[in-house]
Amino acid sequence: MEITRRDFIKTSLAASLAAAVPGNLGLHAAGSDMIRIGMIGCGGRATGAAVDCLDAAPGVEVVAMFDLFQDRVDKSLAKLREKHPDKIKVMPDKCFTGFDGYKKVCALPDVNLIVTAAPPGFRPIHLQAAVEAGKHVFMEKPVAVDPAGVRSVIASSELARSKGLAVVAGTQRRHQARYLELMRRIKGGAIGEVVGGQCYWNQGELWVVKKAPEMSDMEWQCRNWLYFTWLSGDHIVEQHVHNIDVMNWAIGALPVKVMAMGGRQVRTAPEYGNIYDHFAVEFEYPEGVRVQSMCRQIPGCADRIEERIVGTRGSAFGYGEIKGPEPWKFEGEEMNPYVQEQADLIASIRKGEPLNEGRRIAESTLCAVMGRMSAYTGRAISWEWAMNNSKLDLTPPKFELGDLPVEPVAVPGVTPLV
């Protein structure tokens, strides 16, 4: 079923405005509805998300933690205790490791909120376990790395809805005052009819982990997860999904077709796994609207992280500005959006009106996945085919700390479209 731009923007903006309720509304005066967090993943982003959640509202504490590796649990726990010593109630028997440790966190009766920011390749199974166990969930973006994972996340999100559980994603722009006001003005006709746009995530390098002699293939790939498609989805999925999600929001629809190109020109050493270092994508939306997307992770080049929405009467920029006959620039105050998204999540739980952003972020994730698939194969891809017919599932044959050969780097025109 094709969703029109007007229908999409009407429903997505209404949901976003509802999510923007200040975080202290609907809370009991003393914060007596205790939110007890179980962490799935203990890396930098997971630790940051837990700190943001603790900052967001009273009556929140961390009671359980899981990561594949003990040293990461220990490092995260030390950081949390440094930031919030009075809110960390994690006992040694509530710290878990190994590939099935997430199930033990979900099984704890005192945990009512899962914060999951393990590598994206694991997020569909982590979300499924959390929802089946009856837990509210905050999950980082992206939420999958392939169409099979996207469909799993949508199914889990619908199950959460039927159970009255919250599912909030790490798309903090959806909770940020400048973006909310910008979208309100776009919907009000400030730039006329939206006809196209551009979005960018161009930056330098990120961290990288070289393989140590004592590491198995699986351990190294999980520690160096940014650089393996089965774990990160490639940087177009892991990072650029933010900007793509904003374009979907502004245009008020999902793309019907994607065509892309990309490559691996600079980051060719073994430690960079099998991902690309640059992409260029054209997203074609209903009614002929087209968006040009670029993302790059190459040092020494121009940086640009931005969204530009083009209308018949002006242009809107994600940082909070409109240029045209009705110029505007955001000059208001806003909470740290990483904290605001957690405040909105907690408020929705305590009000008994749980937010559910699962399908929306799954759909934006699929847009980014389609861009990668098109670039890897050299083929144009339709939304209908990717959502309903693609059999691509990047899950490894088994989860154990042993051998796992690195898949070859994709070659357009050679790598098959699955």
pLDDT in tens, 27-52: 332 334 899 999 999 999 999 999 99
Supply the mean pLDDT for the chain. Answer: 93
**What percent of the chain is modeled with pLDDT above 70?**
92
Band of pLDDT at residue 55, cut at 50, 70 and 90: very high
Band of pLDDT at residue 386, cut at 50, 70 and 90: very high
Q: Find the mean pLDDT for residues 113-125.
A: 98
- pTM, to two decimals: 0.92
Q: Residue 154: pLDDT above 80?
A: yes
pLDDT tens figures, 163-181: 999 999 999 999 999 999 9
What are the start-end ranges of the H helices in 352-409?
Answer: 358-377, 383-388
Band of pLDDT at residue 368, cut at 50, 70 and 90: very high
| 5-173+338-357: CATH topology | Rossmann fold (3.40.50)
Q: How far apart are CA 418 and CA 416, in angstroms?
A: 6
Q: Work out the angle between the directed axes of helices 177-187 and 5-19 (0-180°, nearest 10).
A: 150
Band of pLDDT at residue 22, cut at 50, 70 and 90: very low
Q: Find the mean pLDDT for residues 380-409.
A: 97
Name the CATH code of domain 177-332+365-388 (choices 3.40.50.720, 3.30.460.80, 3.30.360.10, 3.90.1150.10): 3.30.360.10
Residue 60, C-beta contacts closer than 8 angstroms, at least 6 positions apart: 31, 34, 35, 37, 53, 54, 87, 346
Q: Find the mean pLDDT for residues 215-242.
A: 98
CATH code 3.30.360.10 region(s) in the chain: 177-332+365-388
Q: Residue 390: pLDDT above 80?
A: yes
Q: Residue 12: pLDDT above 70?
A: no
Confirm if 287 and 5 have CB atoms less than 8 A apart: yes
Q: Residue 337: pLDDT above 60?
A: yes
